Amino acid sequence: MKFLGKSSRQRTVFLPLCWLLLKFLQPGRCHLYNNRYAGDKVIRLLPKTEGQVHALKKMYHTLQVDLWQPSSISYVSEGAVVDVHILQNASQALLAFLHEANIQYTILIKDLQKTLEKDSSLRTQRNRRSLSAYNYEAYHSLEEIQDWMHQLNKTYTGIIHMFSIGRSYEGRSLFILKLGRRSRAYKGAVWIDCGIHAREWIGPAFCQWFVKEALLTYRSDPAMKKMLNHLYFYVMPVFNVDGYHFSWTHDRFWRKTRSRNSGFHCRGVDANRNWKVKWCVEGASMHPCDDTYCGPFPESEPEVKAVANFLRKHRKHIRAYLSFHAYAQMLLYPYSYKYATIPNFSCVESAAHKAVKALRSVYGVQYRYGPASHTLYVSSGSSMDWAYKNGIPYSFAFELRDTGYFGFLLPEMLIKPTCTETMLAVKNITMHLLKKCP
């Protein structure tokens, strides 16, 4: 278990350097991400009436707000909780509007830049203290995650195999870790991806955690042993590699891929609206500048196309598709694109019910679960629906912690509890697969 304990770390230079400048040398001089969030706010809106919802939707189209939760304005209804990121120069207008429309709200983050810098300085201090051990309770840059994968591939040759399924828009390799002992007997498989949306950093942290736990416990834990004996796990720690990289270097709240959109200055496509399943019909945007832009055509994004090709090729033996997002604390299954339940509802429903119960047993954290359309909002072109439609019977999307207090800036302190409880849910779903339903 050498590598799980120790590794050489080469942290991106950018953050520590900035941290040093912030701390000692020139306070106020160095700002992360070019100070782009100075004075921005994150506000939670609580529309209570139909009229307020209507007003909110109108406001959305005039003011520049970025929805943090949920990410589709069309499905906001009375009683919804809507978190928005508002730029500094528009925040007065938004507050005035809220008073005018009599919409209840709370300010979650007063100054996003300050919050971000505090969050990041804590992170850097923490990492500096643990240079000698691979720290699974830290967020890692893309480069670090890929180094880690290469190391595992070298160290655990019998049980891990790392390969690439293609390249991203910007030419980065799309790496997968395949876990499980090779065996002559037929083995099913589980697909796990994290980081479809760049800013949801807890996702890749969970994928790393999952791999670590599998390697550390498959000898001692009968459940893990059974999982790895009977199944392969394909783990893609960072799906949207370009976007994730960009969220470290330029824009912490970047969500989409980084492809160019011809004729527009806005970049990127929502990699979770780009799948060929009722593509761009509802809960997705046709406009390249929107965060839920579905792209010019299905699978236009090389990352989506590569994964779709892989899943198509292996769908006969892939039994489950698990995709990790944040935040909302939900466990979702199809359909996402319509208000309907899937044919074999009861098997999937009972798997979700038990998984959520197992998750709650650790720290009492409550997850809602159900068809995505009922539980979250309608969205077409999602990977989860696509996987289900393409013959993978158990298809789930996790929305991990929290419910908005930290939102995308979930502190590193919460990586361990979040991953520990999520691990139980994933194991529970997997054990469910290995039994005959129900």
Ligand X SMILES: *[C@@H]1O[C@H](CO)[C@@H](O)[C@H](O)[C@H]1NC(C)=O
- Residues found near ligand X in the complex (CB under 6 A): 153, 157, 162-164, 223, 343-344, 347, 354, 357-358, 361, 393, 427-428, 431, 437
> Could you tell me if 88 and 95 are in contact, meaning their C-beta atoms sit under 8 angstroms apart?
no
Out of 245, 319, 325, 401, point to the residue binding Zn ion (CB under 5 A): 325
197 binds, among Zn ion, ligand X, none (CB under 5 to 8 A by kind): Zn ion
Q: Does 197 bind Zn ion (CB under 5 A)?
A: yes
Number of residues that bind Zn ion (CB under 5 A): 3
In this chain, which residue has its C-beta nearest to ligand X?
Answer: 393
Minimum distance from residue 70 beta carbon to ligand X (Å): 27
357 binds, among ligand X, Zn ion, none (CB under 5 to 8 A by kind): ligand X
Q: Does 401 bind Zn ion (CB under 5 A)?
A: no
Q: Is 143 a catalytic residue?
A: no
Nearer to Zn ion, 55 or 142 (CB): 142
Nearer to Zn ion, 245 or 325 (CB): 325
Q: Which stretch binds Zn ion (CB under 5 A): 9-17, 124-132, 322-330, 355-363?
A: 322-330
Minimum distance from residue 387 beta carbon to ligand X (Å): 12
CA distance 48 to 64: 22
Minimum distance from residue 358 beta carbon to ligand X (Å): 4
Q: Which stretch binds Zn ion (CB under 5 A): 29-37, 133-141, 192-200, 347-355?
A: 192-200
325 binds, among ligand X, Zn ion, none (CB under 5 to 8 A by kind): Zn ion
Beta bridge partners of 167: 173
CA distance 382 to 396: 11
Nearer to Zn ion, 123 or 325 (CB): 325
> Could you tell me if 380 and 281 are in contact, meaning their C-beta atoms sit under 8 angstroms apart?
yes
Tokens of 196: 């479809």
Query: How far lies 51's CA from each of 48, 54, 55, 81, 402, in Å?
Result: 8, 5, 6, 16, 29
Catalytic, out of 301, 399, 412, 421: 399
Q: Can you give the binding site for Zn ion, defined by CB under 5 A?
A: 197, 200, 325
Catalytic residues: 399
